[in-house]
Chains A and B, each alone.
Chain A
Amino acid sequence: MGLRLLVHDWGFWTKDDLYKALYAEGIELFISYGLDGRVTQKEEQDKFKEEFEKRLLEREYDAVFSINFTPLIAEVCNRNNVMYISWCYDSPAVGGTMEQRMYDTNRIFLFDSSELKRNQKVGVNNLHFLNLATNVNRMNSVKLLPAQKEKYSSEISFVGQLYSRELQEIMQLLGPYESNFIQSIVDMQMREQTENIVGKLITSEIVEAITSEELIEKMSKYNKLYNVQEGALRVSTLQLFLLHSATNRERLLLLSLLSKHFKVKLYSPDKHDILNEVEHCGLVSYTDEMPLVFRCSKINLNITSKSIETGIPQRCLDIMGCHGFLLTNYQEDLFTEFEENKDLVIYRSIEEAFDKADFYLKHDGLRRKIAENGYKKVRDKCNYHVQLEKIWKKTGLK
């Protein structure tokens, strides 16, 4: 294709698949390693910008490329009039100041349509909707040894974080009034499967009411998650914390309910007391083990983090890409690529999740058919080649 890209590598976990796809397109890649664009202190930010600019000016590039949007890179690219493409796999993804978001050199690709609309509403253009991608060839090339079948087999599996530890630590810092006030909002969000209401409910008055030095310090400990800057708690930070809390609650409730009736395996660094009938299997590697989990489980659960409002998370594509049967919470953007009950199955309440799990465990043939349909859709429509083509077209690089 003849393009020359400078790629910012911050350690994102889909890099092997992305680089392989980019090389396959004939793109000349130069990878910038070892710089962390998520730093929050001014001194460190200036240092990052200086170093990145040095690398950018080493040769002429058609564009800079990164997974997720890095405002500091946007600044450097804008200063040097170089196109900056960011393909975001987190949500919310677009941070930084309004000025940084609105640079003419930005080309931001979001997989969550509601985040897209929110930004467009406040005048951030140069945004495009683009679903994520997966590498079905790599995932299906992982060999399943006979001894591993027993290890990874289950009626139901869930791979993901529970966020329990940090949530507990943070909630403990709040008094009984404040923690219960927050909890009522979390419970409300948990009941709302199709809408992010935390955004409407968390106001600056609430943030002010619960802020304390200890709370800020504790949340700073999880800075990469909560991006606490300059010792202040922002509305967006508290919103994210509450969304994680609601996710935590839903995951615990659903896993607990299912485990009382079915064999459930949990692949997570976290544990929780109420999951005493769940088999805790610890972490699995993304490349070597996760495909086997998805392939060997009769039902693969996806319980999307509430911070992703409408988008299709990477997990869904990975599950289907491994011929796994997917039972997922409702996410509006699923319908941009898939058909419900044909390619995957969706639940809209915990009770419905239970009913559907029960049904599909009793209907093997139907379950396998749906898994196969889902796999074909992901193979044909959500692969890196197809999605990258959309990027080149939108950016005019093709």
Chain B
Amino acid sequence: MKILMITYSDKLSAHIAQCFETCGQEVILYEFPHDIDTHQFVVLDETNRADFSNALKNEVYDVIFSIEYIHEISMYANALGVIYLSWILYLPNPDIYRSSVGNLCNAIFACDSTVVELLKSYGAENAYYLANAAISLGNNDYKSKYGASFIEKITILSEEGPFGIESKLSAASRGYIDGMAHCQRLLHDRDVISGNIPQNVRDELLDKYRILTPTDVSVNIDELINYNYFRPYITMQERRIALASMKHVAAVFSDIPVDILDTEEKKIESEEIMKSEEKIKSKEKVESEETLETEEMTGLEENEQLQKIQEKSDKWKENFHDYITDISKRKEIYAQSDINVYITDRAMPSGIAHQVFDIMSSRGFLLMSHQNDMAKHFVCGKDYIEFSNVTDMTQAFIEYGPKSDLRREIAENGFNKIKKEHLMIHRIQELLSVF
């Protein structure tokens, strides 16, 4: 086949193109003159449109291929009678809500089984599940440099957004959506938002925070509310809560401003101080009739407690580093960490993020938040470990932290599975066999 592959000048595109060629396909790479962002509704500007039209005019292609689904590409392909293959690897990909998903030219592959079901419900006849994969196997040996590591960006949402400190929603609506977000955060294995927002809350939310969509988008509005507001908020909450509980033991590589974590730390710190002060006060009340010596000891204890909190408060900052964009550096850290923690963005309801494959292909021991699709490919407890909430995560640290041999065994199992079945070449072979 002759494939016109839309590329973004990244390692992944180049590697996928290579995999297609390894499988005997002819690949011509195409890059838009102006960058596009598939995490928003894609609207090609005139330059991009003109350039793409020219590319299609000059050659006859059997297939147009893109990573992520792009509505306008589907429209072009449909008009020309060319097959449009897309593989959704990064979520959100809002173009999946557009009417073109029903075009007969489409064969849409998605790395998330919930998204596949969604696509089918929106009229995509040819929607298939195709998991993410590792680009390559890491070549770093395991070395225990970090007790645990967490490498991830944490989006800080606007304070004026629906979940922000200065939210424009009424207290009643804010209470309700906070409750829903709380439920969704703790219930990993199902969507509890879509279709369940009460009418009055939904109306107020949309009134105060308009969601602009192209006119052909006709999906359940709750799904758009979920994608725009709930999922980013829940992801942010989840990652921040996890960070707060492990930052004293893990090396953190993130873009979150230290001040925010520092504020959170101060919040925890001040609560601890308050609790300590209350304990001390109640102790003083009970011992009020005792001798001066006892009172002096109480004062000493107070200072010790506060000093401990202060020391603890400063120490975690030493573990805090900038986010690492370079994938080979990340893989190095994965290989050097006893435990690699990963919390999937909620934009991916069931699927497996590429970071999971990166960790496992680096021989890293993986501890991740529950994702339904993991069970399709891996065995929890044998290839990786999962948790459903922060308590479980902490428990896993306690359980697996001291067991070096077991961790290595699990990491090795995961690595071998990746090597055998979960490289990009395996996926492209699978894609071609389905197609």
| Residues of A that sit less than 8 Å from B by CB | 175-185, 187-188, 191, 197, 200-201, 206
- Asked if B173 is at the interface (CB within 8 A of a chain A CB), the reply is yes
- Interface pick from B37-45, B176-184, B293-301, B346-354: B176-184
Provided the pairs A187-B196, A188-B192, A191-B196 are in contact, do residues A201 and B172 lie with their beta carbons within 8 angstroms?
Answer: no
Set of chain A residues within 8 Å of B171, measured between Cβ atoms? 175-177, 180
- Asked if B305 is at the interface (CB within 8 A of a chain A CB), the reply is no
User: How far is B188's CA from A197's CA once the two chains are assembled, in angstroms?
Assistant: 12
Q: Indicate if the CB atoms of A176 and B175 lie closer than 8 Å.
A: yes
Which residues 67-109 of B have a CB within 8 angstroms of A? none
Report which residue of B173, B178, B180, B182 has the largest number of chain A beta carbons within 10 angstroms of its beta carbon.
B182
User: How far is B169's CA from A181's CA once the two chains are assembled, in angstroms?
Assistant: 14
- Asked if B56 is at the interface (CB within 8 A of a chain A CB), the reply is no
Q: Indicate if the CB atoms of A180 and B187 lie closer than 8 Å.
A: no
- Which of A176, A181, A191, A200 interacts with B179 by CB under 8 Å? A181
Q: Indicate if the CB atoms of A178 and B175 lie closer than 8 Å.
A: yes
Q: Indicate if the CB atoms of A188 and B176 lie closer than 8 Å.
A: no
Which residues 172-218 of B have a CB within 8 angstroms of A? 172-180, 182-183, 186-187, 192, 196, 198
- Asked if B170 is at the interface (CB within 8 A of a chain A CB), the reply is yes
Provided the pairs A176-B175, A178-B175, A179-B175 are in contact, do residues A184 and B183 lie with their beta carbons within 8 angstroms?
Answer: yes
Set of chain A residues within 8 Å of B178, measured between Cβ atoms? 177, 181, 184
- Which of B170, B182, B196 interacts with A201 by CB under 8 Å? B182
Set of chain B residues within 8 Å of A187, measured between Cβ atoms? 196, 198
Q: 10 closest pairs, A vs B, by CB?
A: A184-B179, A180-B175, A177-B175, A181-B179, A176-B172, A181-B175, A180-B176, A177-B171, A176-B171, A180-B172
Q: Indicate if the CB atoms of B182 and A185 lie closer than 8 Å.
A: yes
Set of chain B residues within 8 Å of A197, measured between Cβ atoms? 183, 187
Set of chain B residues within 8 Å of A191, measured between Cβ atoms? 192, 196
Provided the pairs A191-B196, A201-B182 are in contact, do residues A184 and B176 lie with their beta carbons within 8 angstroms?
Answer: yes
Set of chain A residues within 8 Å of B174, measured between Cβ atoms? 177, 180
Set of chain A residues within 8 Å of B179, measured between Cβ atoms? 180-185, 188
Q: Indicate if the CB atoms of B183 and A188 lie closer than 8 Å.
A: yes
A-B contact sample (10 more), CB < 8 A, given A181-B178, A182-B179: A177-B175, A178-B175, A180-B171, A181-B182, A184-B177, A184-B178, A187-B196, A191-B192, A200-B186, A200-B187
Q: Indicate if the CB atoms of A184 and B180 lie closer than 8 Å.
A: yes
Q: B137 → chain A, closest Cβ, in Å?
A: 38
Q: A93 → chain B, closest Cβ, in Å?
A: 26
- Which of A177, A188, A206 interacts with B172 by CB under 8 Å? A177
User: How far is B197's CA from A187's CA once the two chains are assembled, in angstroms?
Assistant: 10
User: How far is B172's CA from A188's CA once the two chains are assembled, in angstroms?
Assistant: 17
* A/B interface sample: 10 pairs, CB < 8 A: A177-B172, A180-B171, A181-B179, A184-B177, A184-B179, A185-B182, A191-B192, A197-B187, A200-B186, A201-B183
Set of chain A residues within 8 Å of B183, measured between Cβ atoms? 184-185, 188, 197, 201
User: How far is B187's CA from A188's CA once the two chains are assembled, in angstroms?
Assistant: 11
Set of chain A residues within 8 Å of B170, measured between Cβ atoms? 176
Q: Indicate if the CB atoms of A183 and B186 lie closer than 8 Å.
A: no
Set of chain A residues within 8 Å of B182, measured between Cβ atoms? 181, 184-185, 201, 206
Q: Indicate if the CB atoms of A181 and B176 lie closer than 8 Å.
A: yes
Set of chain B residues within 8 Å of A178, measured between Cβ atoms? 175
Set of chain A residues within 8 Å of B172, measured between Cβ atoms? 176-177, 179-180
User: How far is B183's CA from A182's CA once the two chains are assembled, in angstroms?
Assistant: 11
Q: A121 → chain B, closest Cβ, in Å?
A: 14
Q: B179 → chain A, closest Cβ, in Å?
A: 3
User: How far is B175's CA from A206's CA once the two chains are assembled, in angstroms?
Assistant: 12
Report which residue of A177, A183, A184, A197 has the largest number of chain B beta carbons within 10 angstroms of its beta carbon.
A184
Set of chain A residues within 8 Å of B175, measured between Cβ atoms? 176-181, 183-184
User: How far is B178's CA from A206's CA once the two chains are assembled, in angstroms?
Assistant: 12
Q: B386 → chain A, closest Cβ, in Å?
A: 16
Set of chain B residues within 8 Å of A182, measured between Cβ atoms? 179
Q: A323 → chain B, closest Cβ, in Å?
A: 40
User: How far is B206's CA from A330's CA once the two chains are assembled, in angstroms?
Assistant: 36
Q: A192 → chain B, closest Cβ, in Å?
A: 9
User: How far is B174's CA from A175's CA once the two chains are assembled, in angstroms?
Assistant: 12
User: How far is B141's CA from A274's CA once the two chains are assembled, in angstroms?
Assistant: 68
User: How far is B209's CA from A125's CA once the two chains are assembled, in angstroms?
Assistant: 54
Report which residue of B170, B179, B192, B198 has the largest number of chain A beta carbons within 10 angstroms of its beta carbon.
B179
User: How far is B172's CA from A175's CA once the two chains are assembled, in angstroms?
Assistant: 8
Set of chain A residues within 8 Å of B187, measured between Cβ atoms? 197, 200-201
Set of chain B residues within 8 Å of A177, measured between Cβ atoms? 171-172, 174-175, 178
Set of chain A residues within 8 Å of B177, measured between Cβ atoms? 184
User: How far is B178's CA from A18's CA once the two chains are assembled, in angstroms?
Assistant: 48
User: How far is B7's CA from A309's CA once the two chains are assembled, in angstroms?
Assistant: 53
User: How far is B170's CA from A177's CA once the two chains are assembled, in angstroms?
Assistant: 8
Q: B154 → chain A, closest Cβ, in Å?
A: 21
The residue on B at minimum CB distance from A174 is B175
Contact with A along B140-176 (1 / 0, CB 8 A): 0000000000000000000000000000001111111
Q: B250 → chain A, closest Cβ, in Å?
A: 23
Set of chain B residues within 8 Å of A176, measured between Cβ atoms? 170-172, 175
Set of chain A residues within 8 Å of B186, measured between Cβ atoms? 200-201
User: How far is B177's CA from A185's CA once the two chains are assembled, in angstroms?
Assistant: 10
